[in-house]
Structure formats: structure tokens, C-alpha cells
Amino acid sequence: MSIHILKIFAKNKFTNIINIRKISLEIRGAEVESYIARTDLAVEAKECINMPEHSINGVRIQENYNEEMDIKTTTVVIESKNAEKKLGKPMGHYITLEAPGLVEPDEDYHREISLEIAKHLLNIIKKPDEEKSILVVGLGNRDVTADSLGPCVVDHLFITRHIIMEYGKAAYEKHKMHMISGIVPGVMAKTGMETAEIVKGVVEKTEPDLLIVVDALAARSTKRLNRTVQITDTGIWPGSGVGNHRNALTEESLGIPVIAIGVPTVVDAATIVNDAVTLTKEGKINGMSELNSMYVTGKDIDSIVSRLSYTISEAINIALDMEYEAT
């Protein structure tokens, strides 16, 4: 299988342990060089600690499988500081949808996924029936395909703020609707500014009631690559999944609720080696430290990100349509 390898050149030595798990492999009695496997997914953070679900105090986990749509939904609720420390994730709700069919070019299936994501978004948005000013932020680098999900999603959104402010809701022949705006802040290498600085400035100027952030994530398992959607009400730490920690976009830092939506588009290269060795139980891994700065994505990432961006944007458009009624 052809792959693209993305090397992260700038790494921050910030000591935040969020999304980082150190794993030491042992194969036939020989200890393999330990490495850091990074993940943005709460469901994988739970798996990494190797503890029975009932023994993790302060964590509630609910799983549901829709056989007809082939979607597994896992809701992880972190309720205590102790659980937050164990999982390396902030307290809050994490909804993970695992849908293997996301990688297939099936428009009808993607529409069903959009409806499912919209349903969960409506559940996580506080008072969704009240009119709000909502800012959608597309995080990532548009020039790096695997990191361009956020900007692509914003491109497809139904933006209404400018029209409503100029002509009112009558321009859409509606009596009740959200004011939706969008921004793609880019990356520090291009702007010279922290993403959080740009977003905070926009929030202070436009005064939205809610922030929705969309970003590409990093996964621990190759099985979840491009097949998983995570929705959380805890905000996001841009770049944390690949060890490039930036200032957080959270309710504490911005003063408004922050909902994050993400899809894992890259996986740690060391993870792939780990999975291969675990399956074969043969050989010894050398040069693991070099793999720590390598991230891998699929050869068809261009078409996948394009489809996923439409799926996520459609879900947001549906959820923010006040005339839409979830069934």
C-alpha cells in the first residue's frame, strides 16, 4: 500500500501530557524500545490505560451499535479530576462515531452519517432552539492535504451572518435562524500568530454565543483512520495529537462554549510498526525514536478529505438549521 509520510519538523517541549501515552512493547521476552503513541480520541485514551471500564472512577461509557448503518457510537463522559488525569483528557463529553463506510464514495451513506452527526450536535449544543450567533473555525493547513479538513469544511458551510446583519432574516424568508460565520486562521508558520490569538480576537470583536471547531486528528489505531468522527464539548488543543501543542481553544480561554469536531486523518508511524509486530510476534523494532516524528496517512487522502469535508459541513448545516427536526 502506498503511503504519504508527514514529518513534523517543529516540536514543542511543552510538558502537557494530554493525548500522550507511553507504551513499552515486549516481544518474546525482549523489551522493544519504548515510544510515544499519540491520539486525540478519548475512546483510544480509555483503551490505552488497560483498565476495566467499571474500575475507572469518574468515567461513564456507553456504547451503541447500529447494525443497519454499521455505525458504532461510543460516549465517554469524564466526570472527575482523577479520571481526567488517568485518561489525559479534560472533563466533558466525548462522542465517537466509528463508521467503516466513511472511506467509501457512497453519497447516500455519507448523508446518513451527516444526519447522525447532526443529531449528536443538537444534543450537545445547549438550548439549540434559541437563536445564536455561531462561529465555525476550520483549523489546519490547507496546503497539507491530511491537515486540510477544517478549512475545507468551512468552505462548504452555509454562512449567514453578513446577510442577516445587512438585510435581516427576511432575506432568507425565515422568522428564526442562527447567525453563522466562519474563519480559517491558518497555521503559525504562515501567519506568525497563534491560532488561539486570532480566534480570541475574532470572538472579542464579533461576540458569538458558540464556537464550533473542526480539525484533523491523530489516531492510535489504523482501523480508525478516516473512519471515525469525534464530537466533544471540551474544546481543543490544536496540534496536540502530533505533539505540537498550541494554546487551547476552550470555554475557559475564550469565555464561550466550544464544541470540537474531528476526524483522524493521520496515525503515528511507530504505531503501525507496533501493530505489525504485535500481530506477527516476530522481530525487533529498531530506530523507533526516529519514527516518533513521522505521521502516516493513506494514499487516497485527497479524495477522502474532500468527501469528509462535505459530510461534516452538511452535518453542521443540518444541525444549525432551526427548521430541521431530528427524528
**Distance of alpha carbon 179 from alpha carbon 202, whole angstroms:** 15
Q: What is the pLDDT of residues 54-94, one digit of tens each?
A: 567 888 889 999 999 999 999 999 998 888 888 888 899 99
Q: Which residues of 101-134 are buried (b: 16+ CB within 10 A; e: fewer)?
A: ebbeeeeebbebbbbbbbebbbebbeebeeebbb
Across 105-131, average pLDDT = 93
Residue 297 lies in a domain: yes
Bridge partners of 260? 213, 232
Kindly state whether residue 45 falls inside one of the protein's structural domains.
yes
For residues 204 and 287, the model is more confident at 204
Q: What is the CATH number of the domain that holds 8?
A: 3.40.50.1450
Q: Poorest-confidence range of 138-147, 162-171, 216-225, 307-316?
A: 216-225
Q: What angle, 0 to 180 degrees and rounded to 10, lies between the N-to-C axes of helices 301-319 and 107-124?
A: 50
Residue 326 lies in a domain: no
Residue 213 lies in a domain: yes
CA distance 41 to 135: 23
Query: What type of residue sits at position 294?
Result: M
pLDDT at 15: 32
Q: What pTM does this model have?
A: 0.81
In a domain, 325, yes or no: no
Q: What is the mean pLDDT of the segment spanning 196-208?
A: 96
Q: How far apart are the first and last CA of the chain?
A: 41
Cβ atoms 178, 134 nearer than 8 A: yes
Q: Are strands 92-98 and 30-31 parallel, antiparallel or unpaired?
A: unpaired
pLDDT at 32 (0 to 100) = 42
Domains contained in the chain, number: 1
The answer to whether 272 and 224 are in contact (CB under 8 A) is no
More confident residue, 31 or 245: 245
Average pLDDT along the chain = 81
Residue in the block written with cell 501543542: 245
Cβ-based neighbour number of residue 63 at 10 Å: 12
Q: Indicate whether 185 belongs to any domain.
A: yes
Alpha-carbon span 316 to 300, nearest angstrom: 25
Residue 152 included in any domain: yes
Give me the pLDDT at residue 298, please: 77
Whole-angstrom CA distances from 243 to 147, 246, 268, 292 are 14, 9, 11, 10
Domain of residue 283: give its range: 3-319
**Does residue 324 fall inside a structural domain?**
no
